[in-house]
Amino acid sequence: MIKAWFKSGLPWIWMTAGAVSINLLLVLGLLMLIAVRGLGHFWPADVVEYHYKDRQGQSSVIIGEEVDESLLHKAQAISAGLEVLNGADYLQQYLIKTGNRDILGTDFRWIQDQYIQDKTTPEDLIAVERREWGNFYGRLLAVKQNGQVIAEGAKAWPVAQEQIEKNLQLFDEIDHLQKKEMGSINYNLERLRLKQRALELKNEWDDSKKQAFAKQKLAYEEEYKVIQAELLKLNIANKCCSIVVSEAGGREISIPLNRVIKLTRPNAMSALDKSIEYIKNVIAFISDDPREANTEGGIFPAIFGTVLMVMLMAVLVTPLGVIAAVYLREYAKQGFITRLIRIAVNNLAGVPSIVYGVFGLGFFVYILGGNIDRLFFPEAAPAPVFGTPGLLWASLTLALLTLPVVIVATEEGLSRIPKSIREGSLALGATKAETLWRTVLPMASPAIMTGLILAVARAAGEVAPLMLVGVVKLAPTLPLDGNFPYLHLDRKFMHLGFHIYDVGFQSPNVEAARPLVYATSLLLVVVIIGLNMFAITIRNNLREKYRALEN
């Protein structure tokens, strides 16, 4: 019976079906893992108060969010140096985010279920999001202004919220002054210096120019002083208030309100409140700048850098890819040369991305960039302008890397356009170029779009070459700003993919940053899968359309 069954080949068919199922499960599992962990990051978790009696019999109170749990087998637990009470086979552990890094030294702590005496979620526990030292968990005692208590007990909460609101506004103003206004003045001063140097190099630096420059410089410095005075005022106003809080151990601590971003009582929130908070968190994540070595805050500069780089790349890759595809389909005689080009295209697609990075660094940055600097920016020497990794070179490198994607997609689109359309156009007296421009390319434009979208999706996720040609972990300024010439192709930029690598593997506090990395991953996955789905849909629609045309 079994023998006959094996002989029929059925079990092997089932095995192949099993392989498909495993593949599908892997895809689904991976997406779900990222989705669950990434989305969970924004939900305001309950703050739990544990009464804990540890191995040495010492009692303590622990306040924090429960972020992970693990079930260890007895043998594993003992080999990790833990004891297992009551002859249990398993040891249940929880990972608690205790925050208060300035007091405790770490953000996280594993606690064992067997030592927990009591576990409650009192409503008066607060979570404070700070600009540095991570979160604080504890209880709010009072609000102080210039050292005087202005609210205490139950009244403290609304007053604190009000004050934070004010402080955040002040902070925005200060930030604007520092980054925008002062940044702009500094930028202009630097440009002035470079201009002067350029004139000196050309031996055109004379007294009249000297005076004109000095005047301009003076004007900038005056402006600078005004802003500085204003800043000083704002900073004093910003430092007036603080909150007094008590931590799990009972110690009272004062936190200046200008260091606080958010004050919440997650345990007192209703599901609706939490949902609103959730959406706020998501928005903050997408629109804020990162804090604390990228492990906290938002990822706006990374999103911005990725989008800008990808757009530049699209501008560069589209004409190249389309021309190559047009050549292959419309102009070249199918034969040895086209075969060679197809092999070249396939090879371009198969070359490891890091090799593009190496090529980009050596050829674009050092050779092209170095020569551009020598020819056009001698005044900046020895500081490089284009002779260092930057936005332009990253885009160019990725354009080369995604070229095959555009070529293949465009070629497919061109091959689906019926010959009769071209012949009709030619028969009416159009030249080949006119046929191409007026009929073939417009019809192929959805295919070109498809290729472009796929290229963008590929470029958005590529990291290895970017590490060599322009991505940095923290860019002080965006590559696009209000200072002439607005788009700064020579600047370094941040990138979502590199952000994931950097925060997940290079940051000092990986454990704390992990949820943020999941959230970033989720964003990247959603964007890339979305782009891919979009491209596939366009392609499918296109196929339908041409099928109709052919009939």
Alpha-carbon span 498 to 312, nearest angstrom? 18
Site membership for other proteins, residue 151 (CB under 8 A): no
**Residues facing 90 on adjacent strands:** 73
Residue list 468-497, contact with other proteins (CB under 8 A): 468, 497
Among 214, 355, 487, 549, binds other proteins (CB under 8 A): 355
For tokens 């002859």, what's the residue?
87
Among 214, 276, 340, 383, binds other proteins (CB under 8 A): 340
CB of 438 to other proteins, least distance (A): 12
Site membership for other proteins, residue 411 (CB under 8 A): no
Q: How far is CA 78 from CA 18, 89, 109, 112, in A?
A: 38, 11, 18, 13
Q: What are phi and psi of 489, to 5 degrees?
A: -70, -20
Residue list 33-52, contact with other proteins (CB under 8 A): 33-34
CB of 235 to other proteins, least distance (A): 37
**The tokens of 271 are what?**
């599901």
CA-wise closest residue to 523 among 544, 496, 547: 496
Site membership for other proteins, residue 366 (CB under 8 A): yes
CB of 283 to other proteins, least distance (A): 23
Per the CB < 8 A criterion, the answer to whether 305 and 299 are in contact is: no
Alpha-carbon span 306 to 300, nearest angstrom? 10
Vertex 325, ends 436 and 306: CA angle to 5°?
A: 110
CB of 85 to other proteins, least distance (A): 17
Residue list 528-547, contact with other proteins (CB under 8 A): 528-529, 532-533, 536
Site membership for other proteins, residue 424 (CB under 8 A): no
CB of 391 to other proteins, least distance (A): 17
Among 22, 32, 149, 201, binds other proteins (CB under 8 A): 22
Q: How many CA atoms lie within 13 A of 421 on its CB side?
A: 21
Nearer to other proteins, 292 or 502 (CB): 502
Among 193, 239, 259, 342, binds other proteins (CB under 8 A): 342
CB of 69 to other proteins, least distance (A): 13
Q: What is the DSSP string of 90-139?
A: EEEEEEEE---HHHHS-SEEEEEGGGEEEEE--TTEEEEEESSS-EEEEE
- The interface region with other proteins, picked from 26-34, 45-53, 179-187, 258-266 by CB under 8 A, is 26-34
Q: What is the DSSP string of 333-367?
A: PTTHHHHHHHHHHHHHHHS-HHHHHHHIIIIIIII
Residue list 172-231, contact with other proteins (CB under 8 A): none
CA-wise closest residue to 286 among 269, 266, 307, 270: 307
What type of residue sits at position 445? S
CB of 392 to other proteins, least distance (A): 18
Residue list 433-462, contact with other proteins (CB under 8 A): 433-434, 436-437, 454, 457-458, 460-462
Site membership for other proteins, residue 2 (CB under 8 A): yes
Residue list 79-98, contact with other proteins (CB under 8 A): 79
Site membership for other proteins, residue 501 (CB under 8 A): yes
Site membership for other proteins, residue 18 (CB under 8 A): yes
